[in-house]
Chain A
């Protein structure tokens, strides 16, 4: 059991990072990670993966499913989150232009469809290979790559426009 707890514990930093990327909200992200860990601990059962390397993808799957369910429910009943909380989650570089652009990037990422954001962040932020990410999302690798390509194209349209505008204003 303690091996199992050690394996779970080792994944916490990346789960928190990924959850922050998904939600862009410190509290929501840690809520998600907490739910995920609690479920993992409750399920030391048939559903538990075998083998050491299997724990991290399993946790990512649980986290993503919790997140998807949350999104579904929020769709029907949008949660109101205070703006202060949102702003506080953003890192704040000293340079105002850099700060602005990061804010725009965050906004654009959050505006992506859930599955595109989930795919993009698994590869870029978590550094997983296409096959690892595809296994976690339970889609073929081609589907994963087309989701990432669409996400990148949307981000590029929105962000490069922003960059141009910033330059034009100066």
Chain B
């Protein structure tokens, strides 16, 4: 950024105070400010802000770190807590992969057996197939009633649910439904992009709190990513590739933090 002396913008002044300019550009602005007292007063006021912020919060780094922020201890506790149902999830996903392989070979009976198994992933695929193909009534509560939706689902799941916003990636919330997952209530959120593709996010409360890595599964044109995050079992399903799925899962994961 090397502004000509006559057209110095607010952006330049800001960058000047935040030290984002080259030495040469900074000198030019310093000279310009000498003949523009009003702008100089603003810049000085911003500098005072920086100094106040530093004197308020800089001393924190000199404070001793409290024992509860000991990462080695946290890590040890985490390792002791163990992987929880991770092996079970792995088995379920393996089962699905075998099943979808069998499906493609034409062994439909084998796959049906696998799908009837009580796995959250299988249920999420089934729910996606059933609801995402509905043109007129894909959801029970529409996405423009987001607050009501989150309140209702939070009450029914007995878990404070945040409805993830995926609009930055082009997926708009169509709405959500309450669905049975095994014998428990589950939330099924549906998103749609400009091409009319739909992805669903299934959320259920896990039997035991824990965390698992995201696991990938495929079934025909659909793919899914499943993970457990604290008390929530999460599965994203959609007719999209692994990368797109991963982007959505990452955004969901961050917002549910």
Contacts and interface: CB of A to CB of B under 8 A. Distances in A.
Contacts of A109: 53, 56
B213 interface: yes
B126 interface: no
18 contacts: A17-B57, A21-B53, A37-B69, A41-B78, A69-B162, A102-B55, A109-B56, A121-B57, A123-B18, A124-B50, A124-B53, A125-B54, A145-B11, A145-B14, A156-B45, A156-B49, A159-B45, A159-B52
Contacts of B36: none
Contacts of A148: 14, 18
Contacts of B42: 156
A34 to B, nearest CB: 6
A129 B20 contact: yes
B61 A45 contact: no
A105 B225 CA distance: 46
Q: Is the interface of B mostly helix, strand, loop or mixed?
A: helix
Contacts, number: 122
Contacts of B255: 65, 69
Contact of B52 (A29, A34, A105): A105
Contacts of B4: none
A17 B10 CA distance: 28
B31 interface: no
A5 B65 contact: no
A37 B71 contact: yes
Interface in B214-231: 214
B211 A43 contact: yes
Given A17-B58, A46-B246, A156 B46 contact: yes
B48 interface: yes
A124 B68 CA distance: 28
A61 B254 contact: yes
Interface string A134-158: 0000100000010011001001100
Contacts of B46: 152, 156
Nearest to A153: B42
Nearest to B216: A46
Contacts of A90: 56
Interface in A6-27: 8-9, 12-14, 16-17, 20-21
Contacts of B250: 47
Interface string A26-55: 000110011001110111011100000000
Contact of A38 (B59, B60, B74): B74
A91 B20 CA distance: 29
A23 to B, nearest CB: 11
B228 to A, nearest CB: 10
B81 to A, nearest CB: 9
A125 B214 contact: no
Contact of A16 (B15, B61, B211, B254): B61
Interface string B63-79: 10110110110110010
B156 interface: no
B214 A45 contact: yes
Contacts of B63: 16
